[in-house]
Structure 1
Amino acid sequence: MKPVIQSLFLRNLFFTLLQPGIVTGLIPYLIVRNQLRSLFAKPFEIHHYLGIGIWFLGLIILTDCIIRFATEGRGTISPADPTKRLVVKGLYRFSRNPMYVGVMLVLIGEAVFCPAIALWMYTISVFIAVSVFVITHEEPRLRNDFGADYEEYCRRVRRWI
Protein backbone atom coordinates (compact mmCIF):
# COMPACT_ATOMS: atom_id res chain seq x y z
CA MET A 1 0.00 0.00 0.00
CA LYS A 2 1.33 3.45 -0.94
CA PRO A 3 2.19 5.67 2.06
CA VAL A 4 -0.43 8.32 1.15
CA ILE A 5 -3.21 5.73 0.76
CA GLN A 6 -2.07 3.95 3.93
CA SER A 7 -2.13 7.23 5.86
CA LEU A 8 -5.59 8.08 4.54
CA PHE A 9 -6.85 4.60 5.46
CA LEU A 10 -5.46 4.86 9.01
CA ARG A 11 -6.88 8.37 9.50
CA ASN A 12 -10.31 7.23 8.31
CA LEU A 13 -10.20 4.20 10.58
CA PHE A 14 -9.25 6.40 13.54
CA PHE A 15 -11.96 9.00 12.90
CA THR A 16 -14.57 6.30 12.23
CA LEU A 17 -13.88 4.69 15.59
CA LEU A 18 -13.73 8.07 17.29
CA GLN A 19 -16.83 9.75 15.86
CA PRO A 20 -19.56 7.40 14.64
CA GLY A 21 -18.08 4.65 16.80
CA ILE A 22 -18.69 6.59 19.98
CA VAL A 23 -21.99 8.14 18.84
CA THR A 24 -23.55 4.90 17.55
CA GLY A 25 -21.70 2.34 19.65
CA LEU A 26 -20.32 3.37 23.00
CA ILE A 27 -22.95 5.86 24.13
CA PRO A 28 -25.97 3.71 23.16
CA TYR A 29 -24.31 0.75 24.88
CA LEU A 30 -23.85 2.78 28.04
CA ILE A 31 -27.50 3.84 27.91
CA VAL A 32 -28.92 0.29 27.60
CA ARG A 33 -26.20 -1.94 29.06
CA ASN A 34 -28.32 -2.91 32.06
CA GLN A 35 -31.12 -4.12 29.76
CA LEU A 36 -28.98 -6.21 27.42
CA ARG A 37 -28.80 -9.40 29.48
CA SER A 38 -32.60 -9.66 29.79
CA LEU A 39 -33.04 -8.62 26.15
CA PHE A 40 -30.95 -11.53 24.88
CA ALA A 41 -32.46 -14.01 27.37
CA LYS A 42 -35.75 -14.11 25.44
CA PRO A 43 -36.54 -15.09 21.85
CA PHE A 44 -36.41 -12.22 19.39
CA GLU A 45 -39.66 -10.52 18.42
CA ILE A 46 -40.51 -8.70 15.19
CA HIS A 47 -39.18 -5.36 16.46
CA HIS A 48 -35.79 -6.97 17.09
CA TYR A 49 -35.52 -8.09 13.48
CA LEU A 50 -36.79 -4.74 12.24
CA GLY A 51 -34.18 -2.97 14.39
CA ILE A 52 -31.41 -5.20 13.02
CA GLY A 53 -32.52 -4.46 9.44
CA ILE A 54 -32.60 -0.68 9.99
CA TRP A 55 -29.23 -0.85 11.80
CA PHE A 56 -27.66 -2.85 8.97
CA LEU A 57 -28.98 -0.43 6.31
CA GLY A 58 -27.48 2.47 8.27
CA LEU A 59 -24.15 0.65 8.55
CA ILE A 60 -24.05 0.01 4.79
CA ILE A 61 -24.77 3.68 4.07
CA LEU A 62 -22.18 4.85 6.59
CA THR A 63 -19.52 2.50 5.20
CA ASP A 64 -20.17 3.58 1.62
CA CYS A 65 -19.84 7.24 2.60
CA ILE A 66 -16.60 6.70 4.51
CA ILE A 67 -15.10 4.88 1.52
CA ARG A 68 -16.21 7.68 -0.85
CA PHE A 69 -14.72 10.34 1.41
CA ALA A 70 -11.37 8.54 1.23
CA THR A 71 -11.37 7.51 -2.44
CA GLU A 72 -13.15 10.44 -4.12
CA GLY A 73 -12.78 13.22 -1.57
CA ARG A 74 -9.21 12.38 -0.55
CA GLY A 75 -9.98 13.11 3.09
CA THR A 76 -11.74 11.76 6.15
CA ILE A 77 -15.12 12.03 7.82
CA SER A 78 -13.69 14.36 10.44
CA PRO A 79 -14.11 18.14 10.20
CA ALA A 80 -10.54 18.25 11.55
CA ASP A 81 -9.28 16.39 8.43
CA PRO A 82 -11.88 17.16 5.72
CA THR A 83 -12.04 16.04 2.12
CA LYS A 84 -10.00 17.88 -0.49
CA ARG A 85 -12.61 17.34 -3.21
CA LEU A 86 -16.39 17.72 -3.13
CA VAL A 87 -18.03 14.27 -3.09
CA VAL A 88 -21.17 14.24 -5.25
CA LYS A 89 -21.40 10.64 -6.51
CA GLY A 90 -23.07 7.55 -5.11
CA LEU A 91 -25.53 8.29 -2.32
CA TYR A 92 -24.40 11.93 -2.45
CA ARG A 93 -26.51 12.26 -5.62
CA PHE A 94 -29.63 11.90 -3.44
CA SER A 95 -28.62 13.54 -0.16
CA ARG A 96 -25.96 16.09 0.75
CA ASN A 97 -25.54 14.28 4.06
CA PRO A 98 -26.04 10.54 3.55
CA MET A 99 -23.38 9.77 6.17
CA TYR A 100 -25.52 11.44 8.82
CA VAL A 101 -28.57 9.64 7.45
CA GLY A 102 -26.63 6.39 7.93
CA VAL A 103 -25.70 7.34 11.50
CA MET A 104 -29.32 8.16 12.27
CA LEU A 105 -30.51 4.84 10.80
CA VAL A 106 -27.99 2.98 12.99
CA LEU A 107 -29.32 4.81 16.05
CA ILE A 108 -32.95 4.27 15.06
CA GLY A 109 -32.22 0.58 14.50
CA GLU A 110 -30.71 0.34 17.98
CA ALA A 111 -33.70 2.14 19.52
CA VAL A 112 -36.15 -0.15 17.71
CA PHE A 113 -34.17 -3.21 18.77
CA CYS A 114 -33.93 -2.11 22.40
CA PRO A 115 -36.87 0.27 22.91
CA ALA A 116 -35.67 2.34 25.84
CA ILE A 117 -36.99 5.88 26.22
CA ALA A 118 -33.49 7.10 27.06
CA LEU A 119 -32.15 5.66 23.80
CA TRP A 120 -34.93 7.34 21.79
CA MET A 121 -34.23 10.64 23.55
CA TYR A 122 -30.53 10.27 22.76
CA THR A 123 -31.32 9.54 19.09
CA ILE A 124 -33.51 12.65 18.84
CA SER A 125 -30.82 14.72 20.56
CA VAL A 126 -28.18 13.49 18.11
CA PHE A 127 -30.39 14.44 15.18
CA ILE A 128 -30.90 17.95 16.56
CA ALA A 129 -27.18 18.36 17.25
CA VAL A 130 -26.23 17.08 13.80
CA SER A 131 -28.76 19.40 12.13
CA VAL A 132 -27.42 22.43 13.97
CA PHE A 133 -23.82 21.42 13.18
CA VAL A 134 -24.54 20.89 9.48
CA ILE A 135 -26.34 24.22 9.10
CA THR A 136 -24.02 26.38 11.21
CA HIS A 137 -20.62 24.78 10.55
CA GLU A 138 -20.44 22.29 7.69
CA GLU A 139 -22.45 24.08 5.04
CA PRO A 140 -20.63 27.43 5.48
CA ARG A 141 -17.26 25.64 5.37
CA LEU A 142 -18.22 23.74 2.22
CA ARG A 143 -19.43 26.97 0.58
CA ASN A 144 -16.11 28.56 1.45
CA ASP A 145 -14.01 25.58 0.30
CA PHE A 146 -15.88 24.65 -2.89
CA GLY A 147 -17.67 27.88 -3.87
CA ALA A 148 -19.89 27.75 -6.94
CA ASP A 149 -19.57 23.95 -7.24
CA TYR A 150 -21.12 23.54 -3.79
CA GLU A 151 -23.83 26.13 -4.49
CA GLU A 152 -24.83 24.24 -7.64
CA TYR A 153 -24.78 20.98 -5.72
CA CYS A 154 -27.09 22.48 -3.07
CA ARG A 155 -29.55 23.52 -5.78
CA ARG A 156 -29.67 19.96 -7.16
CA VAL A 157 -29.57 17.85 -3.99
CA ARG A 158 -31.57 18.00 -0.76
CA ARG A 159 -29.92 18.34 2.64
CA TRP A 160 -31.27 15.08 4.03
CA ILE A 161 -33.47 12.84 1.88
Structure 2
Amino acid sequence: MQKTIAVLGSALFFAVAPSVLAGLIPWSITLWQFRPPFFDLQATRAVGMLLIAAGLPGLIDSFGRFALQGLGTPAPIAPPQNLVVTGLYRYVRNPIYVAVVAIILGQGILFGDGRLLIYGGLLWLAFHGFVVAYEEPVLAESFGAQYEDFRANVPRWIPRLTPWRAARSRDAS
Protein backbone atom coordinates (compact mmCIF):
# COMPACT_ATOMS: atom_id res chain seq x y z
CA MET A 1 0.00 0.00 0.00
CA GLN A 2 2.84 2.39 0.84
CA LYS A 3 4.39 1.89 -2.62
CA THR A 4 1.03 2.51 -4.26
CA ILE A 5 0.61 5.80 -2.43
CA ALA A 6 4.19 6.80 -3.27
CA VAL A 7 3.65 5.99 -6.96
CA LEU A 8 0.37 7.92 -7.09
CA GLY A 9 1.90 10.87 -5.22
CA SER A 10 4.92 10.94 -7.53
CA ALA A 11 2.69 10.73 -10.60
CA LEU A 12 0.60 13.64 -9.31
CA PHE A 13 3.69 15.72 -8.52
CA PHE A 14 5.11 14.86 -11.98
CA ALA A 15 1.91 16.11 -13.58
CA VAL A 16 2.15 19.35 -11.63
CA ALA A 17 5.82 20.37 -11.33
CA PRO A 18 7.90 19.12 -14.30
CA SER A 19 4.91 19.21 -16.66
CA VAL A 20 4.35 22.87 -15.86
CA LEU A 21 8.02 23.90 -15.66
CA ALA A 22 9.21 22.00 -18.76
CA GLY A 23 5.94 21.84 -20.69
CA LEU A 24 3.32 24.49 -20.04
CA ILE A 25 5.67 27.43 -19.41
CA PRO A 26 7.93 26.74 -22.43
CA TRP A 27 4.81 26.34 -24.58
CA SER A 28 3.45 29.67 -23.29
CA ILE A 29 6.74 31.32 -24.26
CA THR A 30 7.18 29.74 -27.70
CA LEU A 31 3.78 28.32 -28.70
CA TRP A 32 6.06 25.58 -30.11
CA GLN A 33 6.87 27.79 -33.09
CA PHE A 34 10.24 27.45 -34.72
CA ARG A 35 12.39 30.52 -35.10
CA PRO A 36 15.53 30.61 -37.22
CA PRO A 37 18.11 28.20 -35.81
CA PHE A 38 20.94 29.51 -33.69
CA PHE A 39 24.00 30.55 -35.71
CA ASP A 40 21.86 29.88 -38.80
CA LEU A 41 22.77 26.19 -38.48
CA GLN A 42 20.01 23.60 -38.71
CA ALA A 43 22.37 21.19 -36.89
CA THR A 44 21.80 23.12 -33.67
CA ARG A 45 18.26 21.75 -33.66
CA ALA A 46 19.72 18.23 -33.34
CA VAL A 47 21.52 19.35 -30.18
CA GLY A 48 18.19 20.52 -28.80
CA MET A 49 16.55 17.20 -29.64
CA LEU A 50 19.42 15.34 -27.95
CA LEU A 51 19.03 17.37 -24.74
CA ILE A 52 15.29 16.69 -24.68
CA ALA A 53 15.84 12.99 -25.49
CA ALA A 54 18.40 12.70 -22.69
CA GLY A 55 16.37 14.64 -20.14
CA LEU A 56 12.95 13.04 -20.47
CA PRO A 57 13.83 9.41 -19.69
CA GLY A 58 16.12 10.53 -16.85
CA LEU A 59 13.29 12.58 -15.39
CA ILE A 60 10.83 9.69 -15.57
CA ASP A 61 13.35 7.20 -14.15
CA SER A 62 14.26 9.48 -11.25
CA PHE A 63 10.61 10.03 -10.32
CA GLY A 64 10.06 6.28 -10.42
CA ARG A 65 13.01 5.67 -8.10
CA PHE A 66 11.62 8.16 -5.57
CA ALA A 67 8.39 6.19 -5.45
CA LEU A 68 9.64 2.60 -5.68
CA GLN A 69 12.92 2.82 -3.74
CA GLY A 70 12.49 5.96 -1.69
CA LEU A 71 8.87 5.20 -0.80
CA GLY A 72 7.99 8.85 -1.20
CA THR A 73 7.89 11.62 -3.75
CA PRO A 74 10.22 14.41 -4.89
CA ALA A 75 7.72 16.86 -3.35
CA PRO A 76 8.84 18.33 -0.01
CA ILE A 77 5.41 17.62 1.49
CA ALA A 78 5.81 13.85 0.93
CA PRO A 79 9.57 13.18 1.05
CA PRO A 80 11.13 9.75 0.57
CA GLN A 81 11.66 7.48 3.54
CA ASN A 82 14.84 6.02 2.01
CA LEU A 83 17.71 7.92 0.44
CA VAL A 84 17.78 7.14 -3.29
CA VAL A 85 21.35 6.49 -4.49
CA THR A 86 20.75 4.31 -7.56
CA GLY A 87 20.19 5.01 -11.24
CA LEU A 88 21.22 8.51 -12.28
CA TYR A 89 21.72 9.39 -8.61
CA ARG A 90 24.99 7.44 -8.86
CA TYR A 91 26.23 10.15 -11.24
CA VAL A 92 24.66 13.39 -10.02
CA ARG A 93 22.82 14.31 -6.82
CA ASN A 94 20.02 16.22 -8.54
CA PRO A 95 19.08 14.38 -11.74
CA ILE A 96 15.49 15.65 -11.71
CA TYR A 97 16.59 19.28 -11.73
CA VAL A 98 19.31 18.56 -14.29
CA ALA A 99 16.77 16.77 -16.51
CA VAL A 100 14.20 19.57 -16.30
CA VAL A 101 16.80 22.20 -17.19
CA ALA A 102 18.16 19.99 -20.01
CA ILE A 103 14.66 19.63 -21.46
CA ILE A 104 14.05 23.38 -21.31
CA LEU A 105 17.43 24.26 -22.81
CA GLY A 106 16.86 21.59 -25.45
CA GLN A 107 13.53 23.18 -26.34
CA GLY A 108 15.20 26.59 -26.56
CA ILE A 109 17.85 25.26 -28.92
CA LEU A 110 15.36 23.20 -30.94
CA PHE A 111 12.99 26.13 -31.44
CA GLY A 112 15.78 28.68 -31.79
CA ASP A 113 14.30 30.72 -28.96
CA GLY A 114 16.72 32.48 -26.62
CA ARG A 115 13.92 33.28 -24.19
CA LEU A 116 13.82 29.61 -23.21
CA LEU A 117 17.58 29.62 -22.67
CA ILE A 118 17.18 32.56 -20.29
CA TYR A 119 14.23 30.85 -18.57
CA GLY A 120 16.26 27.63 -18.21
CA GLY A 121 19.17 29.53 -16.69
CA LEU A 122 16.94 31.38 -14.24
CA LEU A 123 15.17 28.17 -13.29
CA TRP A 124 18.52 26.49 -12.64
CA LEU A 125 19.46 29.40 -10.35
CA ALA A 126 16.18 28.93 -8.47
CA PHE A 127 16.84 25.18 -8.19
CA HIS A 128 20.35 25.86 -6.92
CA GLY A 129 19.09 28.23 -4.24
CA PHE A 130 16.43 25.72 -3.14
CA VAL A 131 18.91 22.84 -3.04
CA VAL A 132 21.51 24.73 -1.01
CA ALA A 133 19.15 26.53 1.37
CA TYR A 134 16.54 23.84 1.97
CA GLU A 135 17.00 20.44 0.39
CA GLU A 136 20.58 19.59 1.39
CA PRO A 137 20.15 20.59 5.06
CA VAL A 138 16.91 18.60 5.29
CA LEU A 139 18.50 15.52 3.68
CA ALA A 140 21.52 15.79 5.98
CA GLU A 141 19.22 15.92 8.99
CA SER A 142 17.00 13.09 7.72
CA PHE A 143 19.66 10.67 6.49
CA GLY A 144 22.79 11.70 8.44
CA ALA A 145 26.02 9.90 7.58
CA GLN A 146 24.44 8.10 4.62
CA TYR A 147 23.66 11.44 2.96
CA GLU A 148 27.03 12.93 3.90
CA ASP A 149 28.76 9.99 2.18
CA PHE A 150 26.56 10.47 -0.87
CA ARG A 151 27.20 14.22 -0.91
CA ALA A 152 30.95 13.74 -0.57
CA ASN A 153 31.07 11.36 -3.55
CA VAL A 154 28.44 12.55 -6.00
CA PRO A 155 28.50 16.06 -7.48
CA ARG A 156 25.52 18.36 -7.17
CA TRP A 157 25.18 19.43 -10.84
CA ILE A 158 27.91 18.13 -13.16
CA PRO A 159 27.62 14.33 -13.47
CA ARG A 160 30.48 11.99 -12.62
CA LEU A 161 31.90 9.96 -15.48
CA THR A 162 31.70 6.72 -13.53
CA PRO A 163 28.88 5.56 -11.27
CA TRP A 164 29.33 5.89 -7.52
CA ARG A 165 28.42 2.90 -5.42
CA ALA A 166 27.42 3.36 -1.82
CA ALA A 167 29.36 1.27 0.67
CA ARG A 168 27.30 -1.66 1.83
CA SER A 169 25.94 -1.21 5.29
CA ARG A 170 27.03 -3.63 8.00
CA ASP A 171 23.33 -4.24 8.62
CA ALA A 172 22.73 -5.31 5.00
CA SER A 173 22.53 -9.01 4.37
Q: TM-score, normalised by structure 1?
A: 0.88
Q: How does 1:6-21 map to 2 (within 5 A)?
A: 6-21=4-19
Q: Determine which structure has the larger helix proportion and give its number.
A: 1
- Residue in structure 1 matched with residue 86 of structure 2 by the alignment: 89
**Unmatched 5+ stretches in structure 2:** 37-41, 159-173
Partner of residue 116 from structure 1, selected from 113, 116, 138:
113
Percent identity for Structure 1 against Structure 2? 35
Match 1:64 to one of 61, 76, 84? 61
- 2:71 pairs with 48, 71, 74, which one? 74
Stretches of structure 1 that go unaligned for 5 or more consecutive residues are 40-44
> Which residue identity lines up with residue 131 of structure 1 in the other structure?
H
SS at match of 2:126: helix
Q: Which amino acid aligns with 1:11?
A: G
How far does residue 116 in structure 1 lie from its aligned partner after superposition? Answer: 1.6
Per-residue deviation, 1:69? 0.7
- Runs of 4 or more consecutive aligned structure 1 residues displaced over 6 Å after TM superposition: none
User: Aligned match of 1:28 in 22, 26, 29?
Assistant: 26
Which digits, 9 at most, give the CA deviation of each residue in 1:41-77, with x for residues without a partner?
Answer: xxxx322232122101000111110111111101111
1:53 equivalent in alignment to 2:50: yes
Count, aligned residues: 154
For the pair 1:99 / 2:96, whether they are aligned, the reply is yes
Q: Cα RMSD between the aligned structures?
A: 1.8
Which residues of 2 match residues 143-158 of structure 1 at below 5 A?
143-158=140-155
Deviation of the 1:6 alpha carbon: 2.9
Superposed CA deviations along residues 112-140 of structure 1, whole A, max 9, x for unmatched, are 11122221111110010000000001001
Structure 1 pair 38–146 and aligned structure 2 pair: CA distance change class (3 A):
closer
Q: Output the TM-score relative to the length of structure 2.
A: 0.83
Distance 1:77 1:56 in 2: 21
How far, CA to CA, are the matches of 1:80 and 1:143 in structure 2?
A: 17
